Amino acid sequence: MPGMNGLEATREIKRLSNPPHVIMLTVFDDPEYRRASTAAGADGFISKTELAIEAPIALERLFGMKGIL
C-alpha cells in the first residue's frame, strides 16, 4: 500500500463515524503484530499461512455468514 501500512490504514478506517469491520490479513504472524493490530482497532487477525482455516471462522463471527465458503 503506497503511503501507509495496514496498521495505519486500520487506524484511519476506524476513525470513520460508521467504520466497517477490519480483518488484518498479513504475513507477519507474531504476537507483537497481533497486539498492534488489536490496538489499531482491527476486528480480526489472520496470517496468510492460516487463511483457509481462519477466514471462514472470522467471517462467521463478524458477519454471521455461516457456510458461505
**Concatenated DSSP letters for 6-56?**
HHHHHHHHHTSSSPPP-EEEES--SHHHHHHHHHHT-SEEEEGGGHHHHHH
- 42 domain residue, yes or no: yes
- 52 domain residue, yes or no: yes
- 41 domain residue, yes or no: yes
- 69 domain residue, yes or no: no
pLDDT for res 1: 60
pLDDT for res 54: 81
* Identity of the amino acid at 1: M
> Domain range for residue 31?
6-63
- 68 domain residue, yes or no: no
Residues 61 and 54: their CA atoms lie apart, in Å, by 11
Q: How many domains does the chain have?
A: 1
pLDDT for res 17: 97
pLDDT in tens, the chain (69 residues): 678 999 999 999 999 999 999 989 888 888 999 999 999 999 988 888 887 788 788 778 877 765 544
pLDDT for res 66: 57
pLDDT for res 26: 86
Distance of CA 38 to the CA centre of its chain: 9
